[in-house]
Amino acid sequence: MTESPKTAGSSKEAPEKQYQSYTCSRKSTKVITTKGRLLRFVHSQYVTDSKEEIEYLDHEISIGGLRGITKGKPVASAHADPMAALKRKHIAEYLAAEAQVPDSSTDMGTTEKTPVKPAGTDKLAAAKASVAAASNSK
């Protein structure tokens, strides 16, 4: 059996792109570079793969020009997007909360069951009489 051109060499995956992360002591902040580019820190994090931005931030951090901003670890492309990270966090919280809720199809609750007493014909006449007496008294 021969491999088709589409599947040939597909066992090797392309390496993930690496990004440099930076953290800030504030929840949200903006930094303007010397070339006028705006860098936005979202949820105390900024992630980039631009060599120009990395060089600028590294230089400013080394001379103490950006207080509260530190260089983080390189991250893979799957973890670079802060919105994707926030989405993963919310999904994990939802799944944890859902795991704590009991399954309503198998959980019958804790109510007490009272036995059902079938009415006999001997009590039917007494029940009709009490209903008729109640309606006549109004």
Residue 121 located in a structural domain: no
For residue 6, the model assigns a pLDDT of 46
Residue 93 located in a structural domain: yes
Backbone conformation region of residue 34, classed left if phi is above 0, alpha if psi is from -120 to 50, else beta = alpha
Instruction: Dump pLDDT digits (tens) for 79-108.
Output: 666 677 788 889 999 999 888 776 666 666
Residue 119 located in a structural domain: no
Sign of the CA dihedral with 28 first, then 33, 35, and 36 last: positive
Spacing of C-alpha 38 from chain mean position: 28
Residue 5 located in a structural domain: no
For residue 94, the model assigns a pLDDT of 92
Residue 137 located in a structural domain: no
Instruction: Dump pLDDT digits (tens) for 22-36.
Output: 888 888 888 988 889
Residue 12 located in a structural domain: no
Residue 2: pLDDT above 60? no
Q: 27: domain range?
A: 18-100
d(CA 57, CA 71): 8
Residue 38 located in a structural domain: yes
Residue 114 located in a structural domain: no
Q: Domains in the chain: how many in total?
A: 1
Name residues whose C-beta falls within 8 Å of residue 120's C-beta, 6 or more positions apart in sequence.
Answer: none
* Whether the Cβ atoms of residue 79 and residue 18 lie closer than 8 Å to each other: no
